[in-house]
């Protein structure tokens, strides 16, 4: 892909970046200023000075997981895939549609970049995502093809990649079209990724639950294949772990987060999962046999961790039917210092029976 979208080169003063950052309440995006990108914010961080407990992605090893999970090859592989599928999101525009009082609403219509994190959860060859405003796409609808010279035209072979994040990170399609997802940003000190996905549109989202499913594109066959395989493995391992660790007295619950604090390279943090909120009331048409939930945890996070995937180790003792199939994403830092996730559906299945994947319904979000 060309370099057009690499940096939008906004000239943002430090004062302006700080003003935008102050307009986000307890959520944890990182706002970049010209010459003051994430690496400087990392050094002056006051929430987690020294970032003790933050493990660079390249230094993750199974023995850093708590016992007994560090003995389980499936858990180790699940976390390894969580790390591989985590992306840094750079959002270069703040939508005019952000409602009054919402995160960054004082800066709508402006090109002041902020970063968050997200997780790839699917990739599909030549799958038209049918953007709401144009269902006639027969070729790649990405922002790079939008601006390709007429002779070059749109790429006929491409992959769409689905990413889950928090809605306050990428609010709508207008923002998604200016968003870049950086993969493989794993080396400490590394700020630039050579593997990028280009935002196409927001697919679905939920404002109260603060989750969003957004679509990206890549023209790179190998990247598409790799992400499709890794996300399928992540799902299969999540399902496989259904039958394990269902006694919280024996298996304490933990929340493993992988994110890009301050928009810098990928870090893993681990803490206790301390609370679970059932929020069915937020979802119109919630079914009686399912629970929409949010989690509370002590896992360290910083600005830039918004939207980061959370893997919960262990599970509640709830009639043996609990299914953490879909990973929650990080939402905000509570005044208590603990973290609070966005909402996701935890499907309920009878874990004494074989898992019937066909029994799950299409998600409303």
The distance of closest approach from Cβ of residue 108 to Zn ion in the complex, given in angstroms and rounded to an integer, is 26
* CA distance linking residue 257 with residue 312, whole number of Å: 9
111 and 93 Cβ atoms separated by less than 8 Å = yes
Per-position x/- string for 135-174, each x denoting binding to Zn ion as judged by CB under 5 A, each - no binding: -----x-x-xx---------x-------------------
Per-position x/- string for 297-326, each x denoting binding to Zn ion as judged by CB under 5 A, each - no binding: -----x------------------------
Q: Select the span of 39-47, 103-111, 182-190, 316-324 touching Zn ion (CB under 5 A).
A: 39-47
The distance of closest approach from Cβ of residue 260 to Zn ion in the complex, given in angstroms and rounded to an integer, is 11
Pick the closer one to Zn ion by CB: 197 or 347. Answer: 197
- The DSSP annotation for 115-163 comes to EEEEEEEEEEET-----TT-----S--SHHHHTS-TTT---SS-EEEEE
Pick the closer one to Zn ion by CB: 209 or 339. Answer: 339
Q: Output phi, psi for 212, to 5 deg.
A: -145, 145
48 sits near Zn ion (criterion: CB under 5 A):
yes
320 and 349 Cβ atoms separated by less than 8 Å = no
Q: Select the span of 172-180, 280-288, 295-303, 325-333 touching Zn ion (CB under 5 A).
A: 295-303
Q: Which of residues 203-242 bind Zn ion (CB under 5 A)?
A: none
Q: Can you tell me whether residue 332 is helix, strand or coil? A: strand
Q: Which residues contact 98 (CB under 8 A, 6 or more apart)?
A: 104, 105, 108, 171
Residue from 19, 34, 39, 45 touching Zn ion (CB under 5 A): that is 45
Q: Tokens 């997981």 appear where? A: 65
**Alpha-carbon dihedral angle through residues 146, 192, 301, 31, given to the nearest 10 degrees:** -60
Number of residues that bind Zn ion (CB under 5 A): 8
Pick the closer one to Zn ion by CB: 76 or 203. Answer: 203
Residues that bind Zn ion in the complex, under the rule CB under 5 A:
45, 48, 140, 142, 144-145, 155, 302
């Amino acid at each position: 892909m060309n370099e057009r979208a690499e940096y939008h080169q906004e000239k943002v003063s430090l004062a302006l970046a700080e003003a935008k950052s102050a307009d986000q309440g307890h959520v944890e995006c990182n706002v970049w200023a010209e010459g003051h990108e994430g690496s400087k914010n990392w050094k002056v961080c006051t929430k987690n000075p020294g970032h003790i407990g933050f493990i660079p992605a390249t230094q993750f090893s199974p023995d850093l997981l708590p016992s007994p999970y560090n003995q389980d090859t499936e858990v180790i592989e699940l976390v390894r895939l969580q790390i591989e599928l985590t992306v840094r999101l750079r959002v270069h525009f703040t939508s005019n549609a952000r409602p009054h009082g919402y995160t960054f609403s004082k800066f709508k219509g402006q090109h002041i970049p902020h970063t968050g994190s997200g997780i790839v959860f699917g990739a599909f060859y030549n799958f038209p995502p049918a953007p709401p405003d144009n269902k006639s796409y027969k070729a790649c609808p990405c922002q790079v093809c939008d601006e390709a010279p007429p002779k070059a035209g749109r790429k006929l072979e491409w992959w769409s990649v689905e990413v889950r994040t928090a809605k306050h990170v990428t609010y709508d399609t207008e923002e998604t079209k200016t968003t870049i997802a950086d993969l493989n940003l794993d080396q400490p000190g590394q700020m630039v990724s050579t593997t990028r996905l280009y935002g196409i549109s927001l697919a679905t989202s939920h404002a109260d639950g603060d989750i969003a499913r957004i679509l990206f594109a890549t023209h790179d066959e190998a990247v598409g294949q790799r992400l499709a395989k890794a996300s399928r493995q992540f799902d299969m391992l999540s399902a496989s772990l259904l039958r394990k660790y269902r006694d919280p007295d024996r298996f304490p619950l933990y929340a493993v987060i992988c994110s890009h604090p301050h928009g810098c390279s990928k870090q893993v943090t681990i803490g206790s999962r301390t609370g679970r909120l059932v929020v069915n009331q937020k979802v119109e048409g919630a079914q009686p046999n399912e629970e929409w939930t949010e989690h509370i945890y002590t896992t360290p996070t910083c600005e830039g961790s918004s939207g980061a995937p959370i893997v919960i180790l262990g599970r509640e003792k709830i009639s043996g039917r609990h299914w953490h199939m879909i990973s929650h994403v990080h939402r905000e830092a509570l005044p208590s210092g603990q973290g609070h996730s966005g909402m996701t559906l935890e499907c309920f299945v009878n874990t004494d029976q074989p898992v019937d994947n066909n029994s799950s319904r299409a998600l409303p979000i």
